[in-house]
Amino acid sequence: MLSIVHLNIRSLAKHFDEFRITPELASNDIICFSETWFNSSHTANSFQLPGYVLIRKDRGVTSRGGGVAIYIKQNIKFEKIDFAKCGETEILGIEVIMAHLRFCLVLVYNPPSVASKLKSNFEQLLKAKVLRKPTIMVGDFNLDWSTNSVLKESFETLMSLNQYSQLVTEYTRCFKNSSTIIDLLFTNIQNLASEHMSSKQTSVTILQLNLEPIVNLQSQLFLHHQKSFS
């Protein structure tokens, strides 16, 4: 059993103490954050989580916002994946290596200011040979999957041509007058059984994936899409 959670945190420094005491987040095997808002002034020692290794990619000091980070339990072997720069789309990747399970995990943050460039940036990203392996891409794409926009349809076609399917079907951002599906999950792992469940108490959408098609034993991977902190 392996559990992964993704959350658009909108400043990990601001919400770090809250995150540490939230069991739905801090008890998972791999924890992915988009919009960490980290820069070089946020030292690694200040944001350590006992029992976890922190991998991060900051936007830098010249502009506010952005940033992606992954916490992974120390007993899980992994290798960092170095991707070529994909425009302003922020990418962080690792290959998870377990006894009977090996797959790539790619964390994505696509800023709303470059939403129209998502397709061209991913055309570059998908050239990476490592993404032909069993892969899960998760993150804040700032592309509303609940619409039938030209941008959404063209991106869906690109991903489909590369054997990737999008599995999130429930709203991930809910406002007073609108709701969107912009926190997405793509995978090239075929024949996965998925079920969506919502917890009203914790506002978590759970995506259950059966990874049996790629491993020779029964394994399950749980990915949680947590609504962003305010």
The conformational region for residue 139 under phi > 0 = left, psi -120 to 50 = alpha, else beta, is left
The token duo for 133 is: 């392996």
Q: What is the CATH number of the domain that holds 189?
A: 3.60.10.10
Handedness of CA 73, 79, 85, 87 (dihedral sign): negative
Instruction: Look up the domain containing 202 and give its range.
Output: 2-226
Residue with tokens 């000091």: 61
pLDDT tens, per residue, the chain with 230 residues = 678 888 888 999 999 998 888 877 778 889 999 999 999 889 988 999 999 999 999 987 667 789 999 999 999 999 999 999 999 999 999 999 988 778 999 999 999 999 999 999 999 999 999 999 999 999 999 999 999 999 999 999 999 999 999 988 888 888 888 889 998 999 998 765 444 444 333 334 444 445 554 554 334 566 666 655 65
Residue with tokens 């990619």: 57
The token duo for 62 is: 């010249």
Number of domains in the chain: 1
pTM, two decimals, is 0.88
Contact (Cβ atoms closer than 8 angstroms) between residue 219 and residue 211: yes
Contact (Cβ atoms closer than 8 angstroms) between residue 164 and residue 190: no
d(CA 149, CA 127): 25
